[in-house]
Structure 1
Amino acid sequence: MATAVAFAQKKITVTGTVNEPGMGPIPGATVIIQGTSIGCVTDFEGKYSLESPADGVLEFRFIGMETKVVPVGGKTVIDVDMESNTVAMDEVVVVGYGTQSRRTVTASISTVRADAIKDIPAASVDQALQGRATGISIINPSGEVGQAPIVRIRGVGSITSGTQPLYIVDGMPIQTGNLSYGGNVNALADINPSDILSMEVLKDAAAAAMYGSRAANGVILITTKKGSSEKTKVSYDGWFGVTTRSKFFDVMNAQEYVDFKNQAVRNRYGTDEMSLTEGYTSPYGNKAFNMWQLSDGSYVDSDWKSAAFQTGLQHNHTVSVQGGSEKTQFYLSGNYTDQKGMVKGDKYNRLGTNASVSSQATEWLKVGANVNASTSQTKYTDRSRKGGTFATEGFTRMAIINPPNVPIYNEDGTPYLGEGGYLGMSPNTVKNGYTNPAALLTYGSGVQSEITRILTSVFADISPVEGLTLRTQYGIDHSRVEDKIFNTAMMFGDTENGHAANYAAKSTQATWTNTATYTFSLGEHHFDILAGIESFEKKLDRWGAARDILLDDKYEVFQGPFATISADGNAISESSLLSYLGRVNYDYQARYMLSVNFRRDGYSALSKDHRWGNFGGASAAWRISSEKFFEPLSKVITDLKIKGSWGIVGNTNVADYASKSYYSNGYYGDNGSYLLGQIADSKNLKWESSTKYDVGFSAQLLNNITVDFDYYKTVSSDLILNVPVSPSKGIPNNYITTNAGKMNNTGIELNIGADIIKTNDFTWNSSFNITTTNNKVTKLADGIDQLVSGSSTETTNITVPGKSIGQLYVYPTGGIDRETGRRIFYGKDGTKVLLMYEKDGRFFTEDGQPYAESDIEPVICGNTLPTFYGGWTNNFRYKDFDLSILFQYSGGNYIYNGTTATNSDMRYWNNTTDVLENYWTPERKDAKYAYPIYGDNYSNGSAKPISDWVEKGDYLRLKNISLGYTFSTKKWPKKLGISSLRVYAQAQNLFVITGYSGLDPEALTNNTNANLRGGTDKNTLPQAKVYTFGMNVTF
């Protein structure tokens, strides 16, 4: 209808040119008649011609430029100058030590804005990045509250030195990883996601080399919100939510458990009376497994999930004030978050404030400061001392394997303990080995970490002449951490007759940065030159004490009287880094672009001969769409830029005294003492270095579809390993830490975004990204042809040249033999072998001949690193309603399903109903599980990890869905002084589509050493479902 009205009015032909001041004409800009779909695109010289109503209004649009609206007013010639979008952060990229227009960026950088994460109930900012940017893999290894994710940028950059990227907050590097010594605390959780304006992921050397020796694993720049010269605004962002389990297994009830276990006993011994075979005696009788009858005549049938899990409640509140004047701007916020996890006893809370102020004191001087202060507390029940269960599982395993015929509580309401603090030697079982989650919670066993942290920086910008800015910034990241661990003698502390530990640490990082930036133009040649010097220093001072043998079991806190007290975890360390850096950016009409950077670092942790290293990168880009020959394609491909980069960066994730010798001392005899060498010095230890290559392009199609593509390759060398030496040399531990390994990572990144529908009432934009990663270890060291991680009772990984790091290394099996019901193993010569657990020798060929267990060897059975990952985001708006949906996916990796292994153990632990329904019988020959033999922990893959439990880890997860309503057209909010009001409901982790049969394909048991020992899931807590309701209001 609007179109018909437009043509019914008087029409005139309007012509003109669209330019960018100082840059020349803009080809490919869109010119439309406002309120219609009528428009055109400027030609190579920026010219356009369009029939328009004489009283119409024209809109001029182009990527990276402010939209211009111009009334026609009867004019037939309208020339327009379009300004770069310097206000909207969507078109400005934060780079190392500055900012840059997206149009002239030559490096590979992914950006995530505040709007993309505003509704996510994440405790830390790194979790909010998952699925939203190319090149960055975020793995949440557990559903525990406060658990730090595993973050990798473009693959694995080191074998032993860690792969955590460098995080920079408002120009200052911060501490990352686990701040706690005795607990598990994510350092990034101290930054309130509501205070973040943007996050940039620097991926190639052209972007990251400005950070030199700390940039091998990539760099993430976090920019927090700042003040404004507009009217002061007061805002509130808050949400309330609940957390529940996303998935769990069905387990046998009490009667099923007793019947099944007794059958397994009979299958082994021919009787269900253990006294005939093991001299078993019990006040309850000689039968191995029995039902437990209560005083009222009923039988125990415990639901252990109820003792371990709960519906967790969460809420988060942020109040902020933003405003200022032309000279002075400020931002101030206060935040409180409280999260109770789905595991009973898991808690996290944070109270924090963030302040930013800047002032143009004079025409040539600008000063400012940023302060982020927080105090947080993390609590969880200690799962590190679990008698009778594997050391890699917590409450999840207890809720599955605890016997259902044993009560959770005694009839007087106290937690049932059994003998020795365990749920054992009762009518249920023949051995000890169970732990009662209810008792853990009741008697106070747990870990508590309290952290007080302040991130603060001050800066001054001096502009003595036009184009020149001298900047100095000094920043400190200071934290104090106190960890308290207590285990009563009644439970996990039984081996020490009660155990407590206390650790206190203070850590300080100080960074002083001085830079000079000179920006100038020579005609249409534009230069941005930076030079600087930076000093960095970190210090750690930690003390601790451990106490055993609780003298009075009435005490339920770590201050109780103990018989033995010893020092534990004491450490003092410091290191420093001195850097010289520089960069030159050049562009001509934003058509030809070049960037060169350099950094020289000196690090105190390395020996004097290898302390200094040179790093740097170069990149170039060409906007082909600005060339004359491209004009025939300009209506379809409105913008096209190709780019390439090369550079060298380093890795400083080594101990502060990595090149020094280590000694231990102690007492010898009555009056003597000794000093014993522990680790030999490494005088030749130097940087791990990575050479990065990148080629790609950025394109815009039809002015509403964007495509970004990159191919990358990273060659990492001088990787640090402990290289063995001959014992005759007398070197402690017979190894020296040295640079030896090599590794490559290659892959592609693709991001496609589109405004699919865009009208006044309805919009739909979509963004899809995918990253592929191919990791290959090319060399270990002389004398090392493989690195094997693990033992015969844990999942084993192996790293060998020619394959990806941390391959699964398991024993080859072939399912269940149809005729005998026994697990099939394969010898190293390919012989088919059957496991007869109850017989001496255990392994036999099909014709009954004994087969040596030593001749069954593990084989490489799968890559543990995802080879592709990404996300798909769709945003819809209909009038005042908005809907956002994020799918996140990952795949190409394999998982050892230790959950299936431990949940089908044929000893005294409970099993899942899947075992009950799928074990071998003469009538069920196509079985998943072996013929049940009591005590058999081989067939299920506990004693030996087996290939039958290796599964693909591919998955597609509905990560987040949010539905909101903005009261933009209502009058009543304005009457209350409300300028904007939005309410929303959000759900996270609603479902996962996967072929993996465990609880969660993303969960990893060995998350603390995920490179060499990845791909293992042993009842790891899955990601929680989170439902929240929130509000954003501004006054």
Structure 2
Amino acid sequence: MKKLFFLFLFWGIALTVFSQNIQIKGVIVGGQDSEPLPGVNVVVKGTTNGTITDLDGQFTLNAPSDCILSISYVGYKSQEVSVKGNRSLRVVLQEDTETLDEVVVVGYGVQKKSVVTAAISRVTAEELNVAKPSRVEDALKGKVSGVQITQSSGQPGSDSKVRIRGIGTVNNSDPLYIVDGMPVDGGIGYLNPVDIQSVEILKDAASAAIYGARAANGVVLVTTKTGDGGTGKGLGKATVNYNFSYGWQNPWKKKSVLNATEYMVIMNEAQINDGNAPRYTADQVANAGKGTDWQDETFNYDAPVQNHQVSISGGGEKVSYFLSLGYFNQEGIVGGDYGKSNYDRWSIRTNSTYNVFEDNSRKFLNKVRVGVNVGYSRGKSTGIETNSEYGSILGSALTFSPLVSVYASDTEAANILAAHPYAVKDKDGRVYSIPPSGFQEIANPVAMLHQPRSEKNNEDKFVGTFWGEIDVLPGLKFKSSYGFDLAFWGKDGYEFPYFLANQGKDVTQSSVWSEMNRGYKWQVENVLTYNKTFASNHNLTVVLGQSAQRYTYRQLGGSDYDLLENDPSKANINSAIADRDDERVYGGTGGYNNASLASYFGRIDYNYAERYMIQATVRRDGSSRFGPSHKWAVFPAVSLGWNVSNEPFMENRPDWLTSLKLRASWGKNGNENIGNFRYTSLMDGGQNYYFGGGYVVATESKNGVMQYGSSPAAIPNPDVKWEESEQTDLGFDIRFFDNALNFGFDYFKKKTNGMLMDQPIPSYVGQSAPIANAGDMENWGLEFEMGWKQSLGDFKYSVNANASYLKNKLIKLGNASGEAIYENAGASGLGSYVKGQ
């Protein structure tokens, strides 16, 4: 019997040995797009041994070789995977449209949407690329409540203005843009929309407070795509995608204007009403017809727009990568066929992650990852003048007489050339007609398109982040990163002699100009993140970090006259031979500027069983743009959430009610958008002053001596400090019918104190206006979002709608009159802000 007992004991020991723990590595991706899924729960079935996937969808777990892994993720169907001794796994999760939720990117981390307590809106890659937009901002139009996006002009490639919850200040209401953790200047128009994984918009103070100083107008977080980390060795399996679109553009509606017959009739009526004889005879009216349709002559119908995008993504056990190349071209509907209103953009992106080592048998420093996200964009654009002495091309097309033909007759052409040898001609030498006498700020719009004038704009932009991440202890990660934003932009133009209309002067001298700008920003950040779950239901996340930034800017420009040849290929400043005594020659400009920002920040997130949530954030910023007494400022925030549907008393709620969450938040943000060193006085060279006279008293004049030198550039204000905005937000999110119908509501009130404004001073002072914290502004509003989604077999559809109500009010301007007028030459109140409006 003893022998039999020891035999069974030996077998038990052997079985224990053979089922010992192994290290399992895996990657979890979504089934629809094979994108890695962060935050997926991976647990050994029947135990509490588990982990979650990182931002690249990867996990490492020590578990028995014959165990079963239970894998679950909000919005996807749960799976059980038998390990069967495999040390490398690749799991594909399928969407569960009936419980679909999201992981939302927040500042320095991610959160499940179910526990988010702030006002954050998310737009996915699928939503962004439905309309194949040229710019990311255009793709966001109408998709997020409380966000207003307007294009500065209809010219291809023109910038868009983004306003989050209205105009928060008269100084600068642009939001802060963050791309893969790097703050970028000049917006996100340089990005290829196809490279973007998601865009999160942080609308309230609580969500934006982690960015403190620059977040008073909201934050736009952009996350670009990453590769699919696999389980194989080397680079793994690669996925190649190519997208192509080609379309045509046309004006959606022409303005209704008079044709030739109608024009003659109206002009005759005007003459008669003025007591004069009709200008046109009955025969002329009867034979006039439609005349020239200047809109048809001007518009570039069927203007093409095309987009090409190729990407390669994939990865293995050690590395994941995403590479892309994109080209976008848009031809303008006004001037595009003449090369005067076009836009081209090339873009290149490479994102990669490399697992340096991973060893879960160690109690500390068991995982090290490094990565790089770099994007380059080159944009070129040409434009048309919209406010010259002849007005604009479209303005002339709408007001030019339909009785005038596009080209002058032979007799008219001879007379025009005799008086104006530089009259505009087409490529075949035909002379364009000119306006009759009496017309002001009008020219032949087709001749304006042929005007020998061109200005080409260019922009090269590099934005990237290099980072490394270490798992210091279980649940504790340290991440260090270096980011940069390097931009070169400028313009080159020329103008050859020309004549367009009698009300303007003949341009008899050619000119050329060029300008180049360079901006460089670097950022170094170090962030500690601690995640821990206590007693199953107490979830804690702590973020502590430090950030340092520096920005430098240089500008150089020049112009000259009298080119050797009127040849576009030779139009550069070196080819100009104007008299060097001419004051217009070498109109050189140049400048240099720099600014620095140092920051410390922290955030604590706690939730109990995803039922009660609280988040507290604080950031301390120091900016070189303010004097020693006001350099530093602190920006706190707090938010609360209550998932009512997770309460025990809601277990028997109606089947049609899926979830209900209440939210509340309060916080402060800052604004430092002013010029550098406005708190002190700088010397400005190139100044002049008359000494010893130089004035006239009655009939007596005194002759002084002109002296050149330097003088203070502006009146300093050592007391200027941070502009601060304080915001309160109340909202709720509710879902019905197994998440098919969702509805969100937010009420917010925002008060901006100490707005940074230039103060008006008398022009005879001869100094630039000083800046001060002179005004207060208040805005409040309501936001509504609603969506419906459903799957019918393989057919899926969704309908979304949003609405906003916003009220802006300027409360204080810091002076008794309540008006701040910046230009008062000939027009009262021009460019003014009025208290109470």
TM-score (norm 2): 0.77
Distance (Å, rounded) in 2 between the aligned partners of 1:710 and 1:163: 21
Task: Answer whether contact 1:525 1:589 (CA < 8 A) is retained.
Answer: yes
Please show how residues 454-493 of structure 1 align to structure 2 within 5 Å.
454-491=462-499
2:343 pairs with 1:348: yes
- Aligned residue in 1 for 2:382: 379
Please show how residues 94-493 of structure 1 align to structure 2 within 5 Å.
94-159=105-170, 161-176=171-186, 187-230=187-230, 231-261=237-267, 263-265=269-271, 267-268=273-274, 270=276, 301-311=291-301, 312-344=303-335, 345-363=340-358, 364-387=367-390, 389=391, 394-411=392-409, 428-431=436-439, 433-491=441-499
Provide closer, same or farther for how the CA distance between residues 291 and 198 of structure 1 changes in structure 2, counting only shifts above 3 A: farther
Of 695, 720, 725, 1:685 maps to 720
Of 572, 597, 617, 1:597 maps to 617
Q: Secondary structure at the match of 1:463?
A: strand
2:524 pairs with 1:512: yes
AA aligned opposite 2:531: T
Distance (Å, rounded) in 2 between the aligned partners of 1:94 and 1:491: 57
Q: Secondary structure at the match of 2:207?
A: helix
Residue 208 of structure 1: how far off its partner (Å): 0.4
Of 653, 662, 665, 2:686 maps to 665
AA aligned opposite 1:228: D
AA aligned opposite 1:123: S
Provide closer, same or farther for how the CA distance between residues 773 and 266 of structure 1 changes in structure 2, counting only shifts above 3 A: same
- Aligned residue in 2 for 1:857: none
AA aligned opposite 1:359: Y
Please show how residues 57-76 of structure 1 align to structure 2 within 5 Å.
64-68=74-78
Residue 362 of structure 1: how far off its partner (Å): 0.9
Task: Answer whether contact 1:488 1:494 (CA < 8 A) is retained.
Answer: no
Task: Answer whether contact 2:468 2:480 (CA < 8 A) is retained.
Answer: yes
Residue 226 of structure 1: how far off its partner (Å): 0.4
Of 542, 547, 564, 2:560 maps to 547
Distance (Å, rounded) in 1 between the aligned partners of 2:617 and 2:131: 36
Residue 626 of structure 1: how far off its partner (Å): 1.5
Residue 173 of structure 1: how far off its partner (Å): 0.5
Distance (Å, rounded) in 1 between the aligned partners of 2:768 and 2:822: 18
Distance (Å, rounded) in 2 between the aligned partners of 1:381 and 1:208: 39
Provide closer, same or farther for how the CA distance between residues 703 and 262 of structure 1 changes in structure 2, counting only shifts above 3 A: same
Provide closer, same or farther for how the CA distance between residues 254 and 601 of structure 1 changes in structure 2, counting only shifts above 3 A: same
- Aligned residue in 2 for 1:861: none
Task: Answer whether contact 2:558 2:589 (CA < 8 A) is retained.
Answer: yes
Distance (Å, rounded) in 1 between the aligned partners of 2:353 and 2:196: 17
- TM-align CA RMSD: 3.8
Task: Answer whether contact 2:760 2:820 (CA < 8 A) is retained.
Answer: no
Task: Answer whether contact 1:64 1:103 (CA < 8 A) is retained.
Answer: no
Provide closer, same or farther for how the CA distance between residues 584 and 759 of structure 1 changes in structure 2, counting only shifts above 3 A: same
- Aligned residue in 1 for 2:694: none
Distance (Å, rounded) in 1 between the aligned partners of 2:94 and 2:667: 29
Q: Secondary structure at the match of 1:633?
A: coil
Provide closer, same or farther for how the CA distance between residues 135 and 427 of structure 1 changes in structure 2, counting only shifts above 3 A: closer
- Aligned residue in 1 for 2:745: 709
Task: Answer whether contact 2:713 2:768 (CA < 8 A) is retained.
Answer: no
Task: Answer whether contact 1:199 1:220 (CA < 8 A) is retained.
Answer: yes
Distance (Å, rounded) in 1 between the aligned partners of 2:808 and 2:405: 50
Distance (Å, rounded) in 1 between the aligned partners of 2:565 and 2:77: 75
2:515 pairs with 1:503: yes
Provide closer, same or farther for how the CA distance between residues 121 and 494 of structure 1 changes in structure 2, counting only shifts above 3 A: farther
Residue 666 of structure 1: how far off its partner (Å): 3.1
Residue 408 of structure 1: how far off its partner (Å): 2.1
- Aligned residue in 2 for 1:527: 540
2:649 pairs with 1:629: yes
AA aligned opposite 2:143: R
- Give the number of aligned pairs: 704
Residue 506 of structure 1: how far off its partner (Å): 1.2
Task: Answer whether contact 1:382 1:447 (CA < 8 A) is retained.
Answer: no
Structure 1: which 5+ runs fail to align? 1-18, 23-59, 72-82, 177-186, 274-286, 804-1035
Provide closer, same or farther for how the CA distance between residues 642 and 434 of structure 1 changes in structure 2, counting only shifts above 3 A: same
Provide closer, same or farther for how the CA distance between residues 425 and 145 of structure 1 changes in structure 2, counting only shifts above 3 A: closer
Provide closer, same or farther for how the CA distance between residues 707 and 719 of structure 1 changes in structure 2, counting only shifts above 3 A: same
Please show how residues 68-87 of structure 1 align to structure 2 within 5 Å.
68=78
AA aligned opposite 1:172: M
Task: Answer whether contact 1:410 1:416 (CA < 8 A) is retained.
Answer: no
Provide closer, same or farther for how the CA distance between residues 516 and 726 of structure 1 changes in structure 2, counting only shifts above 3 A: same
Distance (Å, rounded) in 1 between the aligned partners of 2:578 and 2:568: 10
Residue 229 of structure 1: how far off its partner (Å): 1.9
Residue 411 of structure 1: how far off its partner (Å): 4.6
Q: Secondary structure at the match of 2:759?
A: strand
Task: Answer whether contact 2:212 2:619 (CA < 8 A) is retained.
Answer: yes
Distance (Å, rounded) in 2 between the aligned partners of 1:671 and 1:620: 67
* Amino-acid identity (%): 28
Deviations 1:277-304 (A, max 9, x none): xxxxxxxxxx99x989xxxx99993222
Deviations 1:893-943 (A, max 9, x none): xxxxxxxxxxxxxxxxxxxxxxxxxxxxxxxxxxxxxxxxxxxxxxxxxxx
2:781 pairs with 1:773: no
Structure 2: which 5+ runs fail to align? 1-39, 44-69, 82-92, 231-236, 359-366, 425-430, 691-704
Task: Answer whether contact 2:259 2:290 (CA < 8 A) is retained.
Answer: no
Residue 509 of structure 1: how far off its partner (Å): 1.3
Task: Answer whether contact 2:499 2:507 (CA < 8 A) is retained.
Answer: no
Residue 324 of structure 1: how far off its partner (Å): 0.4
Provide closer, same or farther for how the CA distance between residues 619 and 537 of structure 1 changes in structure 2, counting only shifts above 3 A: same
Task: Answer whether contact 1:537 1:577 (CA < 8 A) is retained.
Answer: yes
Deviations 1:966-989 (A, max 9, x none): xxxxxxxxxxxxxxxxxxxxxxxx
AA aligned opposite 1:505: N
Greater relative contact order structure (CA < 8 Å, 6+ sep): 1
AA aligned opposite 1:309: F
Distance (Å, rounded) in 1 between the aligned partners of 2:805 and 2:542: 35
Deviations 1:613-661 (A, max 9, x none): 1112111111111212223325332211111100000112211233333
Distance (Å, rounded) in 2 between the aligned partners of 1:794 and 1:380: 32
Deviations 1:817-856 (A, max 9, x none): xxxxxxxxxxxxxxxxxxxxxxxxxxxxxxxxxxxxxxxx
Provide closer, same or farther for how the CA distance between residues 259 and 444 of structure 1 changes in structure 2, counting only shifts above 3 A: same
Provide closer, same or farther for how the CA distance between residues 86 and 378 of structure 1 changes in structure 2, counting only shifts above 3 A: farther
- Aligned residue in 1 for 2:659: 639
Q: Secondary structure at the match of 2:652?
A: helix
Distance (Å, rounded) in 2 between the aligned partners of 1:299 and 1:153: 52
Provide closer, same or farther for how the CA distance between residues 198 and 484 of structure 1 changes in structure 2, counting only shifts above 3 A: same
Distance (Å, rounded) in 1 between the aligned partners of 2:720 and 2:269: 60
Residue 143 of structure 1: how far off its partner (Å): 2.1
Deviations 1:486-531 (A, max 9, x none): 3333158958755432111111111111111111122121111111
Distance (Å, rounded) in 2 between the aligned partners of 1:265 and 1:549: 47
Deviations 1:424-479 (A, max 9, x none): 99783434542233333334323211222211210000112111111111111111
